[in-house]
Structure 1
Amino acid sequence: MRRILMVCTGNTCRSPMAEALLRDWAARTGTAMEVRSAGVAAQSGMPISANAAETLKRGNIVLPGTSTRLDREDVDWADLILTMTTSHKRAIAERYPQAAAKTYTLKEYASQSEALVPDLQEMDRLHAELQVALALGKPFPEQDKRRLTDLSRRAPDMDIADPYGGPLAVYEACAREIREAIERAFGGRHESN
């Protein structure tokens, strides 16, 4: 059985909606998987936001539990980690380098375009090298800066928009964006037992 971890910032909006929507998809399709969610800066025990809860209720989706702060146990538990943004993905790679190979943004995992993957991998590598150079106070080669800028400009937006603090319509739009990415990501990948 596949174990999938959805990650956002506070684990009260996007990742709990993604967790609930993926669980619903798995139940409807008979796909065996366990799904959890966590936040890179979450305070454990917080309820899902009111508008996220209302959005899920309107779709007859079972609500997830309270928020969880991302920790090593979550990272080790997961076979696949899907983040809501590129910055969440990078935060996981920086804190838990061993998880980098199993961590993607939800939209990146959904696209899995053969043409796109090498550019995203190169962008991740260059970003990691930039962070190391900055941390060590070393210069980052100009050609690598230019390449990173070029790759960033060309890359499609891999982030799920943050609905935090927005009206119900913004949460509903976010849920649609997540649902569409889930359908693309797992629609052709029925994995039973």
Structure 2
Amino acid sequence: MIRVLFVCTGNTCRSPMAEAILKSKNISGIEVRSAGVYASSGQDASMNAKRVLEENDMWNQHRSTLLSKQDIDWATYIFTMTEGHKSIILNTFPAIEHKTFTLKEFVQDDKYDRDIMDPFGGPEELYRETFMELHGLIIELVKRLKE
């Protein structure tokens, strides 16, 4: 079983969208969750994130979760949305460097552009752009995980 944990800041935009996208693939042997490094537990996904997911026939019953040691221990892989998120995690849990990557770093091995734009507070179109970027990255992620 491969356990994927997506992490962003508040767990209301990027990581819930990434979670929903990967879950929508219905891949046997892959479990997925999301959390936030500064999340307030129990919040709904942002309205625009939910709209964009619904437009793409994806629904993820979501409540935000603050990243915990239990999440870290559960995960086979931890994929962050930015280098900043990755640094926060590794400063607290340095022993998990082998399983913690930015999503872009893992699928594209890009040394310079490793952050996924945060649409928080922006217009719906910005959420669509972020969704499309995440969707493309997750298609590549699935290929890598199956290798």
TM-score class normalised by the smaller sequence: over 0.9
Structure 1: segments with no counterpart, 5+ residues: 117-154
1:79 maps onto 2:60 in alignment: no
1:165-189 deviation digits (Å, cap 9, x = unpaired): 0111000000001011111122254
Native 8 Å contact 2:107 2:144 kept in 1: no
Instruction: Give the letter aligned to residue 20 of structure 2.
Output: A
Runs of 4+ in structure 1 deviating by more than 6 angstroms, as ranges, are none
Alignment partner, residue 46 of structure 2: 49
Q: What SS does the aligned partner of 1:3 have?
A: strand
TM-score by length of 2: 0.95
Give me the identity figure in percent. Answer: 44
| Cα displacement (A) at 1:102 | 0.4
| Cα displacement (A) at 1:47 | 0.3
Q: What SS does the aligned partner of 1:36 have?
A: strand
Q: 1:64 to 1:97 in 2, by over 3 A?
A: farther
Q: How many residues align?
A: 147
Native 8 Å contact 1:110 1:186 kept in 2: no
Alignment partner, residue 70 of structure 1: 67
CA root-mean-square deviation = 1.3
CA distance in 1, matches of 2:76, 2:144: 18
Native 8 Å contact 2:50 2:59 kept in 1: no
CA distance in 2, matches of 1:49, 1:34: 23
CA distance in 1, matches of 2:83, 2:10: 15
Alignment partner, residue 16 of structure 1: 16
Alignment partner, residue 140 of structure 2: 184
Larger radius of gyration: 1
